[in-house]
Amino acid sequence: MKIRSLVSIDDLTTGEIMKILKLAAEFEKDPVQEILHGKVVATLFFEPSTRTRLSFESAVNKLGGKVIGFTDSSTSSVSKGETLNDTIRTVNNYVDMIVMRHPIEGSARYASEISTVPVINAGDGANQHPTQTLLDLYSILKTQGSLDNLNICMVGDLKYGRTVHSLLMAMSRWNTSFNFIAPEELRMPDEYKLYLDNIGLKYNETAELQGIIDQADIIYMTRVQKERFSDPIEYEKVKNAYVLHDHMLSGTKPGMRILHPLPRVNEINPDVDSNAKAYYFEQALNGVYTRQAIICTLLGLK
Protein backbone atom coordinates (compact mmCIF):
# COMPACT_ATOMS: atom_id res chain seq x y z
CA MET A 1 0.00 0.00 0.00
CA LYS A 2 1.29 3.49 -0.87
CA ILE A 3 2.19 5.54 2.21
CA ARG A 4 0.19 8.79 2.21
CA SER A 5 2.40 11.78 3.07
CA LEU A 6 1.69 15.51 2.87
CA VAL A 7 4.69 17.42 1.52
CA SER A 8 3.12 20.03 -0.79
CA ILE A 9 -0.44 21.38 -0.89
CA ASP A 10 -0.56 19.97 -4.44
CA ASP A 11 -0.39 16.46 -2.95
CA LEU A 12 -4.10 16.93 -2.21
CA THR A 13 -6.97 17.16 -4.69
CA THR A 14 -9.51 19.95 -4.22
CA GLY A 15 -12.01 17.31 -3.08
CA GLU A 16 -9.56 16.07 -0.43
CA ILE A 17 -8.92 19.64 0.76
CA MET A 18 -12.65 20.25 1.16
CA LYS A 19 -13.04 16.93 3.00
CA ILE A 20 -10.26 17.94 5.46
CA LEU A 21 -11.91 21.34 6.04
CA LYS A 22 -15.27 19.64 6.70
CA LEU A 23 -13.60 17.23 9.12
CA ALA A 24 -11.84 20.15 10.87
CA ALA A 25 -15.26 21.74 11.46
CA GLU A 26 -16.43 18.48 13.05
CA PHE A 27 -13.35 18.44 15.35
CA GLU A 28 -14.02 22.06 16.29
CA LYS A 29 -17.44 20.96 17.61
CA ASP A 30 -16.10 17.78 19.28
CA PRO A 31 -12.29 17.94 19.68
CA VAL A 32 -11.67 15.16 22.23
CA GLN A 33 -12.01 11.71 20.66
CA GLU A 34 -10.07 8.42 21.16
CA ILE A 35 -9.25 7.94 17.46
CA LEU A 36 -5.44 7.64 17.89
CA HIS A 37 -5.47 5.26 20.87
CA GLY A 38 -2.24 3.18 20.67
CA LYS A 39 -0.69 5.38 17.96
CA VAL A 40 2.56 7.33 18.33
CA VAL A 41 3.47 10.45 16.32
CA ALA A 42 7.03 11.86 16.08
CA THR A 43 7.56 15.61 15.90
CA LEU A 44 11.06 16.20 14.51
CA PHE A 45 11.79 19.94 14.56
CA PHE A 46 15.17 20.89 13.11
CA GLU A 47 14.02 24.56 13.23
CA PRO A 48 12.21 26.53 15.97
CA SER A 49 8.41 26.49 16.17
CA THR A 50 5.67 27.39 18.62
CA ARG A 51 2.34 27.02 16.81
CA THR A 52 3.01 24.19 14.37
CA ARG A 53 4.66 21.83 16.84
CA LEU A 54 2.38 22.58 19.80
CA SER A 55 -0.83 22.48 17.76
CA PHE A 56 0.21 19.12 16.26
CA GLU A 57 1.00 17.82 19.74
CA SER A 58 -2.27 19.19 21.10
CA ALA A 59 -4.12 17.55 18.17
CA VAL A 60 -2.52 14.14 18.87
CA ASN A 61 -3.20 14.42 22.62
CA LYS A 62 -6.87 15.34 22.07
CA LEU A 63 -7.19 12.26 19.83
CA GLY A 64 -5.76 9.93 22.48
CA GLY A 65 -2.36 9.34 20.82
CA LYS A 66 1.18 9.82 22.15
CA VAL A 67 3.95 12.14 20.91
CA ILE A 68 7.74 11.64 20.90
CA GLY A 69 10.41 13.75 19.22
CA PHE A 70 12.82 16.62 19.55
CA THR A 71 12.51 20.38 19.43
CA ASP A 72 16.18 21.03 18.97
CA SER A 73 18.28 18.79 16.71
CA SER A 74 21.37 19.53 18.85
CA THR A 75 19.86 17.14 21.44
CA SER A 76 19.53 14.36 18.82
CA SER A 77 22.24 12.29 17.10
CA VAL A 78 22.18 14.79 14.21
CA SER A 79 24.71 16.72 16.37
CA LYS A 80 27.03 13.66 16.08
CA GLY A 81 26.80 13.78 12.29
CA GLU A 82 23.84 11.45 11.66
CA THR A 83 22.26 11.99 8.24
CA LEU A 84 18.59 12.78 7.65
CA ASN A 85 18.34 9.43 5.86
CA ASP A 86 19.48 7.51 8.95
CA THR A 87 17.35 9.60 11.31
CA ILE A 88 14.17 8.92 9.30
CA ARG A 89 14.98 5.21 8.81
CA THR A 90 15.39 4.89 12.58
CA VAL A 91 12.46 7.01 13.79
CA ASN A 92 9.98 5.36 11.39
CA ASN A 93 10.51 2.15 13.39
CA TYR A 94 9.12 3.80 16.51
CA VAL A 95 6.06 5.69 15.27
CA ASP A 96 2.96 5.68 13.05
CA MET A 97 3.59 9.15 11.55
CA ILE A 98 6.40 11.73 11.33
CA VAL A 99 5.83 15.50 11.45
CA MET A 100 9.04 17.24 10.38
CA ARG A 101 10.29 20.83 10.06
CA HIS A 102 13.67 21.27 8.40
CA PRO A 103 15.59 24.28 7.01
CA ILE A 104 16.44 22.65 3.67
CA GLU A 105 13.97 22.94 0.77
CA GLY A 106 13.04 19.47 -0.46
CA SER A 107 13.99 17.74 2.81
CA ALA A 108 10.38 16.73 3.51
CA ARG A 109 9.98 15.17 0.05
CA TYR A 110 13.25 13.29 0.60
CA ALA A 111 12.08 12.05 4.02
CA SER A 112 8.73 10.95 2.56
CA GLU A 113 10.52 8.84 -0.05
CA ILE A 114 12.54 6.99 2.62
CA SER A 115 9.96 6.66 5.38
CA THR A 116 7.77 3.60 5.93
CA VAL A 117 5.20 5.82 7.72
CA PRO A 118 3.46 9.02 6.49
CA VAL A 119 5.55 12.20 6.66
CA ILE A 120 3.92 15.60 7.17
CA ASN A 121 5.92 18.62 6.03
CA ALA A 122 5.77 21.17 8.87
CA GLY A 123 7.84 23.64 6.79
CA ASP A 124 10.91 23.02 4.59
CA GLY A 125 13.01 26.16 4.25
CA ALA A 126 11.36 28.83 2.09
CA ASN A 127 9.51 26.17 0.09
CA GLN A 128 6.17 24.92 1.47
CA HIS A 129 4.08 24.75 4.65
CA PRO A 130 0.98 22.80 3.57
CA THR A 131 -0.61 22.29 7.00
CA GLN A 132 -0.45 26.05 7.62
CA THR A 133 -2.23 26.46 4.30
CA LEU A 134 -5.00 24.08 5.30
CA LEU A 135 -5.60 26.00 8.52
CA ASP A 136 -5.48 29.24 6.52
CA LEU A 137 -8.11 27.86 4.13
CA TYR A 138 -10.21 26.79 7.11
CA SER A 139 -9.91 30.31 8.57
CA ILE A 140 -10.79 31.93 5.23
CA LEU A 141 -13.80 29.66 4.71
CA LYS A 142 -15.00 30.24 8.26
CA THR A 143 -14.75 34.03 8.05
CA GLN A 144 -15.79 34.58 4.42
CA GLY A 145 -18.32 31.73 3.98
CA SER A 146 -16.68 30.68 0.69
CA LEU A 147 -13.25 30.21 -0.89
CA ASP A 148 -14.43 31.56 -4.25
CA ASN A 149 -14.11 35.06 -5.76
CA LEU A 150 -12.00 36.53 -2.96
CA ASN A 151 -9.46 39.33 -3.07
CA ILE A 152 -6.35 38.35 -1.12
CA CYS A 153 -3.60 40.87 -0.32
CA MET A 154 -0.34 39.10 0.61
CA VAL A 155 1.98 41.53 2.38
CA GLY A 156 5.64 41.44 3.39
CA ASP A 157 8.23 38.78 2.69
CA LEU A 158 6.79 37.06 -0.35
CA LYS A 159 10.22 35.79 -1.40
CA TYR A 160 11.13 33.65 1.61
CA GLY A 161 7.67 33.20 3.22
CA ARG A 162 6.76 29.55 2.66
CA THR A 163 3.21 30.10 3.93
CA VAL A 164 2.36 32.49 1.08
CA HIS A 165 3.82 30.10 -1.50
CA SER A 166 1.58 27.23 -0.31
CA LEU A 167 -1.45 29.53 0.07
CA LEU A 168 -1.05 30.93 -3.44
CA MET A 169 -0.99 27.39 -4.88
CA ALA A 170 -4.09 26.43 -2.89
CA MET A 171 -6.15 29.57 -3.57
CA SER A 172 -5.34 29.41 -7.28
CA ARG A 173 -7.88 26.55 -7.43
CA TRP A 174 -10.62 29.14 -6.91
CA ASN A 175 -11.23 32.41 -8.74
CA THR A 176 -8.92 34.46 -6.51
CA SER A 177 -7.68 38.02 -7.19
CA PHE A 178 -4.18 38.30 -5.74
CA ASN A 179 -2.41 41.49 -4.71
CA PHE A 180 1.27 40.97 -3.88
CA ILE A 181 2.58 43.80 -1.71
CA ALA A 182 6.32 43.58 -1.10
CA PRO A 183 9.49 45.64 -1.34
CA GLU A 184 11.53 45.06 -4.51
CA GLU A 185 13.95 42.72 -2.66
CA LEU A 186 11.17 40.45 -1.35
CA ARG A 187 8.84 40.13 -4.34
CA MET A 188 6.93 36.92 -5.07
CA PRO A 189 9.35 34.56 -6.91
CA ASP A 190 8.82 34.17 -10.66
CA GLU A 191 8.03 30.44 -10.37
CA TYR A 192 4.85 31.23 -8.41
CA LYS A 193 3.79 34.02 -10.80
CA LEU A 194 4.36 31.59 -13.67
CA TYR A 195 2.15 29.08 -11.82
CA LEU A 196 -0.68 31.66 -11.91
CA ASP A 197 0.07 32.67 -15.52
CA ASN A 198 -0.25 29.05 -16.61
CA ILE A 199 -3.77 28.77 -15.21
CA GLY A 200 -4.77 32.25 -16.40
CA LEU A 201 -5.21 33.86 -12.96
CA LYS A 202 -4.46 37.59 -12.70
CA TYR A 203 -2.34 39.18 -10.00
CA ASN A 204 -1.19 42.67 -9.19
CA GLU A 205 2.23 43.58 -7.74
CA THR A 206 2.96 46.77 -5.83
CA ALA A 207 5.15 48.11 -3.06
CA GLU A 208 2.34 50.33 -1.64
CA LEU A 209 0.15 49.08 1.19
CA GLN A 210 -2.28 52.00 1.64
CA GLY A 211 -5.29 52.09 -0.69
CA ILE A 212 -4.87 48.60 -2.10
CA ILE A 213 -5.93 46.93 1.17
CA ASP A 214 -9.35 48.63 0.91
CA GLN A 215 -10.27 46.06 -1.81
CA ALA A 216 -9.22 43.08 0.29
CA ASP A 217 -11.36 40.28 1.72
CA ILE A 218 -8.24 38.90 3.40
CA ILE A 219 -5.04 40.75 4.30
CA TYR A 220 -2.37 38.10 4.80
CA MET A 221 0.52 39.72 6.68
CA THR A 222 3.92 38.01 6.91
CA ARG A 223 7.11 38.45 8.90
CA VAL A 224 10.38 39.28 7.11
CA GLN A 225 12.21 35.94 7.46
CA LYS A 226 15.45 37.07 9.10
CA GLU A 227 16.84 33.52 9.24
CA ARG A 228 16.82 33.18 5.42
CA PHE A 229 19.04 36.26 4.77
CA SER A 230 22.74 35.58 4.15
CA ASP A 231 23.58 39.29 4.62
CA PRO A 232 22.29 40.94 7.86
CA ILE A 233 22.58 44.40 6.24
CA GLU A 234 20.04 43.36 3.60
CA TYR A 235 17.67 42.26 6.39
CA GLU A 236 18.07 45.61 8.18
CA LYS A 237 17.03 47.44 4.98
CA VAL A 238 13.66 45.69 4.69
CA LYS A 239 12.78 44.50 8.20
CA ASN A 240 10.26 47.30 8.82
CA ALA A 241 8.99 47.61 5.24
CA TYR A 242 5.33 47.39 6.33
CA VAL A 243 3.70 48.02 9.69
CA LEU A 244 -0.09 47.70 9.81
CA HIS A 245 -1.74 50.10 12.28
CA ASP A 246 -5.38 50.25 13.37
CA HIS A 247 -5.96 53.66 11.72
CA MET A 248 -5.02 52.17 8.32
CA LEU A 249 -8.05 49.85 8.45
CA SER A 250 -10.77 52.54 8.41
CA GLY A 251 -11.46 52.21 4.64
CA THR A 252 -11.36 48.40 4.53
CA LYS A 253 -14.40 46.17 3.91
CA PRO A 254 -16.49 45.33 7.02
CA GLY A 255 -16.07 41.57 6.46
CA MET A 256 -12.33 41.75 5.78
CA ARG A 257 -10.15 39.71 8.13
CA ILE A 258 -6.43 40.01 8.85
CA LEU A 259 -4.50 36.73 8.90
CA HIS A 260 -0.87 36.16 9.87
CA PRO A 261 0.78 32.73 10.25
CA LEU A 262 2.69 34.18 13.23
CA PRO A 263 5.12 34.77 14.85
CA ARG A 264 4.91 38.50 14.20
CA VAL A 265 7.76 40.91 14.84
CA ASN A 266 6.81 44.52 13.94
CA GLU A 267 4.51 44.08 10.94
CA ILE A 268 1.21 44.29 12.89
CA ASN A 269 1.09 46.95 15.57
CA PRO A 270 -0.55 45.67 18.78
CA ASP A 271 -3.23 48.40 18.38
CA VAL A 272 -4.74 46.20 15.63
CA ASP A 273 -5.30 43.28 18.03
CA SER A 274 -8.52 44.69 19.48
CA ASN A 275 -9.99 45.45 16.04
CA ALA A 276 -12.73 42.94 15.10
CA LYS A 277 -10.94 42.45 11.77
CA ALA A 278 -7.88 40.91 13.50
CA TYR A 279 -8.19 37.12 13.23
CA TYR A 280 -4.62 35.79 13.70
CA PHE A 281 -5.02 34.27 17.17
CA GLU A 282 -8.27 32.50 16.19
CA GLN A 283 -6.38 31.35 13.07
CA ALA A 284 -3.73 29.74 15.33
CA LEU A 285 -6.49 27.96 17.29
CA ASN A 286 -7.95 26.65 14.03
CA GLY A 287 -4.57 24.89 13.57
CA VAL A 288 -5.49 22.29 16.20
CA TYR A 289 -8.76 21.23 14.50
CA THR A 290 -7.24 21.29 11.04
CA ARG A 291 -4.25 19.19 12.13
CA GLN A 292 -6.59 16.68 13.82
CA ALA A 293 -8.32 16.36 10.45
CA ILE A 294 -5.02 16.03 8.53
CA ILE A 295 -3.63 13.31 10.84
CA CYS A 296 -6.83 11.24 10.69
CA THR A 297 -7.08 11.59 6.91
CA LEU A 298 -3.47 10.53 6.24
CA LEU A 299 -3.76 7.57 8.61
CA GLY A 300 -7.02 6.53 6.94
CA LEU A 301 -8.90 6.79 10.24
CA LYS A 302 -11.64 9.17 8.99
| CA 83 distance to own-chain centroid | 26
Q: How far is the CB of 139 from ligand CP (least distance, A)?
A: 12
In sequence order, the 6+-apart residues with CB closer than 8 A to the CB of 215 are 151, 153, 177, 179, 253
For residues 79 and 280, give the distance between their C-alpha atoms in angstroms, rounded to a whole number.
Answer: 35
User: Residue 50 or residue 116: which is nearer to ligand CP going by CB?
Assistant: 50
User: Residue 132 or residue 151: which is nearer to ligand CP going by CB?
Assistant: 132
Q: How far is the CB of 135 from ligand CP (least distance, A)?
A: 9
Residues 107-126 contacting ligand CP, CB under 6 A = 123
Q: How far is the CB of 168 from ligand CP (least distance, A)?
A: 16
Give bridge partners of residue 97 from the DSSP assignment.
41
Under the binding rule (CB under 6 A), the answer on residue 128 touching ligand CP is no
For residues 144 and 177, give the distance between their C-alpha atoms in angstroms, rounded to a whole number.
Answer: 15
- Choose, by CB under 6 A, the member of 107, 121, 132, 139 that binds ligand CP: 132
Q: How far is the CB of 53 from ligand CP (least distance, A)?
A: 6
Q: How far is the CB of 171 from ligand CP (least distance, A)?
A: 17
Using CB under 6 A, which of the segments 1-9, 47-55, 224-232, 292-300 binds ligand CP? 47-55
For residues 129 and 114, give the distance between their C-alpha atoms in angstroms, rounded to a whole number.
Answer: 20
- Choose, by CB under 6 A, the member of 5, 8, 49, 172 that binds ligand CP: 49
User: Residue 24 or residue 196: which is nearer to ligand CP going by CB?
Assistant: 24
Q: Comparing C-alpha atoms, which of 124, 187, 111 is closest to residue 155?
A: 187
Using CB under 6 A, which of the segments 1-9, 49-57, 88-96, 142-150 binds ligand CP? 49-57
132: left (phi over 0), alpha (psi -120 to 50) or beta: alpha
Give the total of residues touching ligand CP (CB under 6 A): 9
Under the binding rule (CB under 6 A), the answer on residue 43 touching ligand CP is no
Is omega for the bond preceding 254 within 30 degrees of 0, making it cis? Answer: no
For residues 302 and 296, give the distance between their C-alpha atoms in angstroms, rounded to a whole number.
Answer: 6
Under the binding rule (CB under 6 A), the answer on residue 52 touching ligand CP is yes
User: Residue 47 or residue 196: which is nearer to ligand CP going by CB?
Assistant: 47
Q: How far is the CB of 154 from ligand CP (least distance, A)?
A: 15
For residues 164 and 156, give the distance between their C-alpha atoms in angstroms, rounded to a whole number.
Answer: 10
Using CB under 6 A, which of the segments 28-36, 43-51, 65-73, 190-198 binds ligand CP? 43-51
User: Residue 55 or residue 176: which is nearer to ligand CP going by CB?
Assistant: 55
- Choose, by CB under 6 A, the member of 4, 51, 109, 173 that binds ligand CP: 51
- Choose, by CB under 6 A, the member of 211, 232, 255, 263 that binds ligand CP: 263
Residues interacting with ligand CP, by CB under 6 A?
49-52, 123, 132, 261-263
